[in-house]
Chain A
């Protein structure tokens, strides 16, 4: 690619191009002639959509819905309980920042920390390994959360013979499984999907072809800049108008059809997909990534007897009454539909999981003001 073209290609934040894309989307939606509900399955997409105010330029006939795309939100209460129990049993539990405030059945890791347990925020799994090297007297447990992207990093550490006092409590999840859940939900009416670019860097866009064929719905893989997202929506509505259930990739600068093969090899060498419960969604077939039996020595669930006898917290149960995170994650409701949103459930003291993480839809809508009709304000 010539230098000048490359520069043009890299102008991901050009408002003039954005307007042209938005107009083209409006023409396609007009041609379809009815409201079209599409879903993006990624918290980072929602971040960018909200941050740049993209909904205000999209035509009213396009319903852009966020799916279960935040790994923190879908981590289940009992999974948090396991980490809390390990911390209270004396292990040094390390995890990514947002996981700290995620409510368990009764307590969060932050609560355990306040009770004196050793809970530490790490920026990467290798930092957890460093902590294990630095504290040979402690059992260091890494609470591994996130989708393919972070699971690959966890796998790499597992393959690199970490210290004996290091183990992994995997609550990793697998993105394609989430799309199946939405597509198979009887209440869903989604007509097209935008898939997460970063996860597709690992898995490749080809992985969505069976999904598109089975559901009859198009899938477009997208990056995270505003123009990436608008281009993906345009591609999606074009495919919908043409009635094509195909997979398109508008993120070719990062995503190939096959994906990152060495990363996939590491991922599947260490992990296997198992059916597990996702918060608010119930069971997801092949949705969780568990350590394979060959890595039992690194598996905190195999190494320790984790006593998660439920501790009831009546205050927390009372507070959680009316929380509709499950419906929000399935794209059946908006944060604004929840009676708790912005009132008893705020980022400082989240009631539901979607208010915890910076990738959670309630948190994003709280930060960026949701979707008021701002198309004509101040113009």
Chain B
């Protein structure tokens, strides 16, 4: 056990072990019993039973630097992130989204309008109406530019938790991994890499709808690999499902640009954030059907089976590199490029 820290650091927001520890130590004290999936499940959102259906609720605050990046911007990110969290619970038809914005004194109006236009367009793409909001302005240097919070609600017939894995299940990733995080890092650290590094940020509810239609009850767990990347998601699924997971590294869909950038700065694409991908666990018998449905959708063209759940080593994630096997560590803190 780590000694509790006196101050919150950047690592506590990076989607890894430190963040999970903070949530468990501090925020879980807020959890109270709920008929369905509540805070204590630490899933993508909550699911509260309403009659014979489920009300799914999720919320997310978005900060990203820079706010405009190759392939997207904070507006598209804020709508997609919340739509995707709903979708990962099986709720692919959002009833509505809220939008709360905190702005820094001096934030350019033109940038705000550009962000809002992007939100409008993404909301239309996801068929997710934005129904209410809130605006605050803080002093210079009291907030970094803009913080966007979005909350989403939806009704679902069936909820897919992230704890449903059994030995023998297959794990599918819906497309190339690491695109968002590597694009952001490349821009943030001014790496001036050749090639086309672009974020994958997109709303996934349409894609997930197709997977659920094809797989039905055989879709047993879903999660979008944002902070902490695919590695973080697989660790969570392995721990909650009490199974081991073996990843076939040679099967991972990774764009050449992302792979090259990763090698250069010493960061594994498995640990890097995605904003337009899902990890979908299915019973083996449904894998072909679900894969075909995903690949027929424009956002799932390179969907691939990347891993298998096993009964041995519950909670462990093992990487088969093609040369040998090793443990895949849980993402720890801020990803920093290698210096030398």
Residue of B nearest to A124 (CB): B340
A-B contact pairs, 16 of them (CB 8 A): A15-B250, A52-B323, A53-B320, A53-B321, A53-B324, A53-B326, A54-B324, A97-B340, A347-B332, A347-B333, A368-B327, A369-B329, A374-B325, A377-B318, A378-B246, A378-B308
Q: Distance (Å) between the CB of B328 and the closest chain A CB?
A: 7
Residue with the highest number of chain A CB atoms closer than 10 Å, among B18, B266, B320: B320
**A53-B319, A97-B340, A348-B333 given; A377·B313 CB < 8 A:** yes
A358 in the interface, Cβ–Cβ < 8 Å? yes
Residue with the highest number of chain A CB atoms closer than 10 Å, among B1, B329, B340: B340
* Cα–Cα distance between A343 and B319 once the two chains are bound (Å): 23
**A15-B250, A366-B329, A377-B318 given; A53·B323 CB < 8 A:** yes
A368/B326 in contact, CB under 8 A: yes
A374/B339 in contact, CB under 8 A: no
Q: Across the interface, which residues of A come within 8 angstroms of B313, CB to CB?
A: 377
Q: Across the interface, which residues of A come within 8 angstroms of B322, CB to CB?
A: 13, 15, 18
B109 in the interface, Cβ–Cβ < 8 Å? no
Write the A18-58 contact mask toward B (1 if CB under 8 angstroms, else 0).
Answer: 10000000000000000000000000000000111111110
Q: Which B residues lie at the A interface, using CB under 8 A?
A: 1-3, 11, 18, 244, 246, 250, 266, 308, 310, 312-313, 318-329, 332-333, 336, 338-340
A283 in the interface, Cβ–Cβ < 8 Å? no
Q: Distance (Å) between the CB of A222 and the closest chain B CB?
A: 15
Q: Across the interface, which residues of A come within 8 angstroms of B308, CB to CB?
A: 378
Q: Across the interface, which residues of B come within 8 angstroms of A157, CB to CB?
A: none
Q: Across the interface, which residues of B come within 8 angstroms of A368, CB to CB?
A: 326-327, 329
Q: Across the interface, which residues of A come within 8 angstroms of B11, CB to CB?
A: 348
Residue of B nearest to A96 (CB): B340
* Cα–Cα distance between A343 and B324 once the two chains are bound (Å): 27
* Cα–Cα distance between A372 and B319 once the two chains are bound (Å): 12
**A348-B11, A368-B329 given; A57·B323 CB < 8 A:** yes
A338 in the interface, Cβ–Cβ < 8 Å? no
* Cα–Cα distance between A347 and B334 once the two chains are bound (Å): 11
Q: Across the interface, which residues of B come within 8 angstroms of A56, CB to CB?
A: 324-326
Q: Across the interface, which residues of A come within 8 angstroms of B329, CB to CB?
A: 366-369
B2/A346 in contact, CB under 8 A: yes
B326/A348 in contact, CB under 8 A: no
A126 in the interface, Cβ–Cβ < 8 Å? no
Q: Across the interface, which residues of A come within 8 angstroms of B246, CB to CB?
A: 377-378
- The 5 A-B pairs of least Cβ separation, nearest first, read A369-B327, A97-B339, A53-B324, A56-B324, A53-B326
Residue of A nearest to B317 (CB): A369
A51, A53, A96, A378: the one contacting B244 at CB < 8 Å is A378
A150 in the interface, Cβ–Cβ < 8 Å? yes
B324/A377 in contact, CB under 8 A: no
Q: Across the interface, which residues of A come within 8 angstroms of B325, CB to CB?
A: 53, 56, 374-375, 377-378
Write the A107-140 contact mask toward B (1 if CB under 8 angstroms, else 0).
Answer: 0000000000000010100000000000000000
A218 in the interface, Cβ–Cβ < 8 Å? no
A370 in the interface, Cβ–Cβ < 8 Å? yes
Q: Distance (Å) between the CB of B284 and the closest chain A CB?
A: 14
* Cα–Cα distance between A377 and B316 once the two chains are bound (Å): 11
Q: Which A residues lie at the B interface, using CB under 8 A?
A: 13, 15, 18, 50-57, 96-98, 121, 123, 146, 150, 226, 343-344, 346-348, 358, 366-370, 372, 374-375, 377-378
**A348-B333, A358-B266 given; A370·B18 CB < 8 A:** no
* Cα–Cα distance between A50 and B321 once the two chains are bound (Å): 10
Describe A's contact surface by its main secondary structure: loop
Q: Distance (Å) between the CB of B243 and the closest chain A CB?
A: 11
* Cα–Cα distance between A96 and B340 once the two chains are bound (Å): 7
A146/B340 in contact, CB under 8 A: yes
A18/B326 in contact, CB under 8 A: no
Residue of A nearest to B337 (CB): A97
Q: Distance (Å) between the CB of A223 and the closest chain B CB?
A: 15
A57, A98, A226, A369: the one contacting B328 at CB < 8 Å is A369
**A56-B325, A367-B329, A369-B327 given; A374·B250 CB < 8 A:** no
B323/A18 in contact, CB under 8 A: yes
Q: Distance (Å) between the CB of A299 and the closest chain B CB?
A: 22
* Cα–Cα distance between A103 and B53 once the two chains are bound (Å): 57
A54/B320 in contact, CB under 8 A: no
A348/B324 in contact, CB under 8 A: no
* Cα–Cα distance between A13 and B249 once the two chains are bound (Å): 12
* Cα–Cα distance between A55 and B326 once the two chains are bound (Å): 9
* Cα–Cα distance between A96 and B326 once the two chains are bound (Å): 29
* Cα–Cα distance between A55 and B321 once the two chains are bound (Å): 12
* Cα–Cα distance between A27 and B108 once the two chains are bound (Å): 69
* Cα–Cα distance between A53 and B246 once the two chains are bound (Å): 13
Residue of A nearest to B334 (CB): A348
Q: Across the interface, which residues of A come within 8 angstroms of B312, CB to CB?
A: 377-378
Q: Across the interface, which residues of B come within 8 angstroms of A57, CB to CB?
A: 323-324
* Cα–Cα distance between A227 and B261 once the two chains are bound (Å): 22
* Cα–Cα distance between A348 and B312 once the two chains are bound (Å): 30
Residue of B nearest to A122 (CB): B339
Given known contacts A344-B3, A348-B11, what 11 new A-B pairs fall within 8 Å (CB)?
Answer: A13-B322, A54-B323, A54-B324, A346-B2, A348-B18, A348-B332, A358-B266, A369-B327, A377-B318, A378-B308, A378-B320
* Cα–Cα distance between A51 and B308 once the two chains are bound (Å): 20
Residue of A nearest to B16 (CB): A348
Residue of B nearest to A374 (CB): B325
Q: Across the interface, which residues of A come within 8 angstroms of B338, CB to CB?
A: 97, 358
Q: Across the interface, which residues of B come within 8 angstroms of A97, CB to CB?
A: 336, 338-340
